[in-house]
Structures are given as C-alpha cells and as structure tokens.
Structure 1
Amino acid sequence: MSEPLVFLPMERWGELKSVFKSDWPRGISAYTTLDTAEHIVNNGADYGFKAYVPFGDLTNGLVALNVKGTFYEVVVQCPKDDTTVLEDALMRTKLIDWNRSFHIPFTPKNVSDLMKRIITKKNLSSFTTITVTDTFYYNETPNFNVSLPSGFKFELLRMEDAQIADDTWPHKHPGSVWYFKLLIKAKLGYGLYKNNELIAWCYVKEMGALGHLYVVENHRRKGYGELVLKLISNTLAKEGKFVLAFCVVGNEGAKRLYQKLEFIQDEPVEWITVVRK
C-alpha cells in the first residue's frame, strides 16, 4: 500500500492557499499557516515544517508535520464538509507517529469531529484534552489612525528580547525560549519601546495569528496593549497579510479588546492535545 499523504513542496503552497481561500473564513487558518511558514523559510529560519496532501489532491486538505524537539504538532485542515478521504488518509498513513504525544491546533468543526473519530478508532482517547478558542479576523484591510507618543518606538524585536517574552509566558517550558528566537529571527516579533526600554510586545505566531501580547506590569492600564495591536495590524496590512487572532473562550478582556477594534468574530476552533504514556 502506497503512502496516502503526498509531500507538497513549498513551490506549490500557493495553489493550496488558493483552495483554502475559496473556503473563507473557515480556511483562514490553513491559509495563514502556509503563508507564515513560507515567510519563516524566506527569512532564513527554516525549522522543518512539512506539508502533505491526501492522495495528492489539493481539495482533500492539508496535513502538516511541525516537529520541534519533543513538541509534535500535526496540523490538519480540510476545505470541505466531507472529510471522508482525509480520514481514510489519516487512518492509513505511516508518516504520523501516533505513539507520541501530539497536538492538533486550531481545528474547525469539520476537522475537530474527524480527529475525534480518529482518536477513538486508534484508541488514543484516554489522555485527550481540548482547548476552545474564538477566532477573530479582519475581512477588510485594517488601517488604524495611530501615532506614537514622544520617546516611543515600535519596531522589530531584538534577539535579546526573546528571554523576557519566554520568562513571562505562562506555558514556558525548558528550551521554549528557542520558539521566541525563531519568531524574532523570522521578523515576526514586534515591540513597543519607551526611551529604548521594551514595555510591550506582540508576535505573529507560526500559524499567522497574533499572539503573546504582553504589557510590562508597571506600564499597564495606559492603552499600550491596544496601541500595539493597532500598530501590528497596520504593519501586517501593509505587507499584504491577513490579520488573525485566537482568544481562549472565557478570556473576556482580550475578547472585548478585539471587539473594540472591530475584528470579526468567527466560529470557535478546538486545539486538541493527546498525551501518550
């Protein structure tokens, strides 16, 4: 039996992005994931992201492996409601190591339902956790009218800034500073500096979504978080990028901020983690 997941070289990612763009807004995460992975490679920060399509047909969806040390991520997206062919490919593939703990990020309902069936069929369900996030995006190009106060700069983060982002990250783990260094090397981290002191920052994460927005504690309640979101949204818009963000359900503060800035709220997605012992 031949391998059902067919490798898709980066030269053809544009074709696959077009397929997912036709499934808007459900396909936005797949589109921005491919777009950002391409951006990372083009900025000299290649980290081994590999894209595959079931049986070589782009309309069957995307399966991507994103392996970073012990972190094993399997991106699964499908541009149609019928996921039968994708499910068949996932059941038969030898490329995915189902014996490892793995993460399946930002799954819309069609893929979430599919992965739950896969997990049950492969008897992986004993240690499964699911996090639900709301999806926010801009359908039109944002253009916030903002200006920086005197003494402030908004610019790409410096490599030495990776440590403070890692130190303040609630999901920090041994070696996780590498992740922030990767994003900074790929020019996906932006900081707000006051008199050359970093006081707030935001990153464009690997899937193309805004994330890791943080304001240093003694600079909070001054509107800097909102300012950074506006500035980074304007920057991405000028680069022709889509502006996307995820917000964990229950994080009402972040949700209100996205709503205030007139992001469009779409259907929630699920982040599935399977821990193997």
Structure 2
Amino acid sequence: MCPQLEVIGLLDLQKFQGLYKQNWPKYCQEYYCLDNFIEFLKKQPHIKHLQLYTLDIKQARDEGLFVIVDRYQLFVGSLNNSNGLVKKALDLVDWSSGLKCSSIPYRHIDALNSIIEEKKLNLEFTNPTDLFYMKAEDALQLRVESPVGFVLKALSVEDAPLVNEEWPNHHLGSLFFIERQIRLCVSVGLYQEDTQELVAWCIRLQGGYLGALQTKECHKRRGFGSVVTREISYRLAAQGHDVMALVGTANKPSSAMFSKLGFRVIDQCEWLRTKPTKGEFTWPEGE
C-alpha cells in the first residue's frame, strides 16, 4: 500500500521537534521551524490556511518527516533524506496554486528538484542561501545600547505597512504575513526617540531565522542594520534560542555583517517558488 499524507497537529510537532535535537546543530533548521509553528499554534490554535502533514507510516514518524504548507509557503524536514520518503510526501502536496518553498535544507533539494522536474513545474525564482548560525551563549554577548537619539523596542502591528512596503520581497498578501509575524514572533525596531520614526528593523520569520532585515534608505550606512541584528539575536538568546539567519550567496554586505558579528556558516538552504499550474493565483490581503 502506497503511503499517503496524514494530517498532524500540535502534539505531533512537539514529538517531532525532540528528534531534531540530535547531532546539534545539524538539524537546527527543522528544530526551529517546528519551534515557531508550535508557538504559533499555542497562541492561535486555529490558524487559517495552515496545513501540517506527515506520511501515514511509522517510518515517517520515526524520522520526524513533516511538510508544512503555510498559506503559499512550504517547509519540509526529515532526519533521513536518502529513503525517498521526502520525495513521496512532496509528490502528494497540491502544487496547483504555486508554492514558495522556503528555507529548504540543502540535503532535501534533490527530492524537491525531482518533483519539479516530474511535475513539469515552472519556477518564478530560485535562490541559494547560506545558513549563518550562532550559539545562544555567544548571542547573549551581542546586546548593544541604542544609538544616541534612538530607542530599541519590539515592533507593533501598526509598523507592518511600512515594513511590508520597504521589504524587497513584498507581494499581494505579504502584509498579512508581516502583521502575523509581528504579533507572534520576536521582532526589534530602531526608532528615532523624538519623532518615533521607525528607521531599521528585523523579524523572526516562520522558519525560525532572522528575516525582513531592513534600514530605511535615508538612514543607511550608519550601522543600524547591525544594531537591530545584535538586539534581536540577544532577545532570542535570552529565551534560550540559538540564532539563525539565511543570506543569499550573492549578498556580500549582509554576509560580511553576520561574519563580523561572529556568526558562522554551517549549511545551505534553497528558496524557490513554483508558478501556479491552473491559472494565476494570488493571496488577497487579509488572508
């Protein structure tokens, strides 16, 4: 009998997460991806358009195999990448609306590429990234004082339109995503003290890594990107988390910044987006 996708829930994610502690930090991508979705479900048990799967066989559960489809984003993880189960699970996913395959650990990229080839899926983009990593004990040393005339604090939902507008990856439906991340995840903004203008920011994204790191154009080249990166890393470490960031292999300035702060590259991840197979589809605002 051929394995099929099986819907899983919070307790399953918690059991799977424990499996990824072995050989640390080899599986830190899977561990922290699950960590975020576990926290999401604790805070908001009925998140709209969130689908959680494994395969309906014991081996898949023993290996912590999961596929998460969060609106239009897909995350996948497994302790084993050589037995064909990751490919089988991806084959059973509905690709018709197009999916943004987010932070896919490089060990699973062959399985993903096979699905794309066999299903003849067209790509909007593909982007290899380096996985920068720092232990919590080291990130605790990164805390920095706010620059004179500025204050560091968590972002508010009211900041979401600006963060979304300045984000190079913004698209129809991304405002909802930014708002949700601000509500449910650790974030840091640097604000001008007298006007409360937001000038730089960083958010922890669903995969558990730092993202949407941005400085407003008129405030660039003042080191503010490093300031918010240091502060959000410290805040995550204060919660007991190691810190991860994904940087495009061609993004030399960001790579240099993370290296200077003491992060080290321990792996690679792939980002790619498939085009819809049944006509154009976009996520409307509010969903």
- Which residue in 2 is equivalent to 1:97? 94
Quick one: structure 1 residues 76 and 151, their matched pair in 2 at CA, closer, same or farther if it must change by over 3 Å? same
Deviation at 1:26, TM superposition (A): 3.7
> Residue 21 of structure 1 aligns to a residue in which SS?
coil
Which of residues 167, 174, 186 in structure 2 aligns to 1:176? 174
Q: Deviations over 1:21-77 (max 9, x none)?
A: 22543422211111111222333483443322222524052111212xxxx222222
Counterpart code for 1:114: A
CA distance in 2: counterparts of 1:128 and 1:223, whole angstroms: 33
Deviation at 1:16, TM superposition (A): 0.8
- Which residue in 2 is equivalent to 1:191? 189
Is 2:56 the counterpart of 1:52? Answer: no
Quick one: structure 1 residues 148 and 123, their matched pair in 2 at CA, closer, same or farther if it must change by over 3 Å? closer
- Which residue in 2 is equivalent to 1:63? 67
Q: Do the aligned residues in 2 keep the contact of 1:23 with 1:80 (CA within 8 Å)?
A: no
Quick one: structure 1 residues 75 and 23, their matched pair in 2 at CA, closer, same or farther if it must change by over 3 Å? farther
- Which residue in 1 is equivalent to 2:103? 106
- Which residue in 2 is equivalent to 1:272? 272
Q: Deviations over 1:112-162 (max 9, x none)?
A: 0011112222333x4464210111011342122522244432111122111
State which drifts further: 10-19 or 148-157. 148-157
Q: Do the aligned residues in 2 keep the contact of 1:162 with 1:181 (CA within 8 Å)?
A: yes
Q: Deviations over 1:157-192 (max 9, x none)?
A: 122111111111122223321111111221433211
CA distance in 2: counterparts of 1:14 and 1:246, whole angstroms: 24
Q: State the TM-score, normalizing by the size of structure 2.
A: 0.85
Deviation at 1:272, TM superposition (A): 2.5
Task: Structure 2: state its 5+ residue gaps.
Answer: 278-287
Deviation at 1:258, TM superposition (A): 0.4
CA distance in 2: counterparts of 1:216 and 1:129, whole angstroms: 25
CA distance in 2: counterparts of 1:187 and 1:207, whole angstroms: 11
Counterpart code for 2:179: K
CA distance in 1: counterparts of 2:115 and 2:143, whole angstroms: 47
- Which residue in 1 is equivalent to 2:16? 16
> Residue 213 of structure 1 aligns to a residue in which SS?
strand
Give the count of matched residue pairs. Answer: 269
CA distance in 1: counterparts of 2:106 and 2:191, whole angstroms: 40
Deviation at 1:108, TM superposition (A): 2.3
CA distance in 1: counterparts of 2:110 and 2:101, whole angstroms: 12
Quick one: structure 1 residues 29 and 153, their matched pair in 2 at CA, closer, same or farther if it must change by over 3 Å? same
Counterpart code for 1:223: G
Q: Do the aligned residues in 2 keep the contact of 1:60 with 1:85 (CA within 8 Å)?
A: no
Quick one: structure 1 residues 237 and 47, their matched pair in 2 at CA, closer, same or farther if it must change by over 3 Å? farther
Q: Do the aligned residues in 2 keep the contact of 1:135 with 1:265 (CA within 8 Å)?
A: yes
Task: Structure 1: state its 5+ residue gaps.
Answer: none
Quick one: structure 1 residues 219 and 9, their matched pair in 2 at CA, closer, same or farther if it must change by over 3 Å? same
Q: Do the aligned residues in 2 keep the contact of 1:8 with 1:51 (CA within 8 Å)?
A: yes
Q: Do the aligned residues in 2 keep the contact of 1:51 with 1:64 (CA within 8 Å)?
A: yes
> Residue 191 of structure 2 aligns to a residue in which SS?
strand
- Which residue in 1 is equivalent to 2:115? 118
Structure 1's consecutive aligned runs of 4 or more residues displaced over 6 angstroms after TM superposition are none
Q: Deviations over 1:193-229 (max 9, x none)?
A: 1212211111111111101111122222222111111
> Residue 234 of structure 1 aligns to a residue in which SS?
helix
CA distance in 2: counterparts of 1:61 and 1:244, whole angstroms: 21
CA distance in 2: counterparts of 1:271 and 1:66, whole angstroms: 15
CA distance in 2: counterparts of 1:84 and 1:39, whole angstroms: 30
Q: State the TM-score, normalizing by the size of structure 1.
A: 0.88
Is 2:210 the counterpart of 1:210? Answer: yes
Which of residues 134, 140, 144 in structure 2 aligns to 1:138? 134
